[in-house]
Amino acid sequence: MAGTSHEAAGEIASVPVAIAASRIEADLIVGMLRSNGVRAVLSADDAGGQEPQLQLQGVRVLVTPSDEADARQLLAASGDSPS
């Protein structure tokens, strides 16, 4: 997983709320969620960004279970379609 710690207050960011087409798009979504107080990280199987062609399945944006509802509301309000 990329980003800072994916564990906060005993919770692990494990709930996928969006699938982005690229790491850059996922970073923007994670930044928007974090700026609104949601604990979010991205998960990509792309060799740490060195092999972007491996992102064919998308880059997942994960949040903690307790932040899921807020994350989905923020994504809906921003026009990003959740997975």
Check residues 10 and 18 and name the one with the higher pLDDT: 18
Q: Say if residues 8 and 39 touch (Cβ distance below 8 Å).
A: yes
- Helix (H) or strand (E) holding 47, with range, is none
CA distance 39 to 16: 12
* pLDDT at residue 72, as a whole number: 96
**pLDDT at residue number 67:** 95
Contacts of 70 (CB under 8 A, 6+ apart): 36, 37, 38
Q: How confident is the model at residue 5 (pLDDT cuts 50, 70, 90)?
A: very low
Confidence band for 52, pLDDT divided at 50, 70 and 90:
low
- Structural domains in the chain, CATH included, are 7-78 (3.30.70)
Please tell me whether the overall predicted TM-score, pTM, comes out greater than 0.85 for this model: no
By the 8 A CB rule, do 61 and 3 touch? no
56-77 residue pLDDT tens? 678 899 999 999 999 999 999 9
> 57: burial class by Cβ within 10 Å (0-12, 13-18, 19+)?
exposed
At 57, is the secondary structure helix, strand, or coil? helix
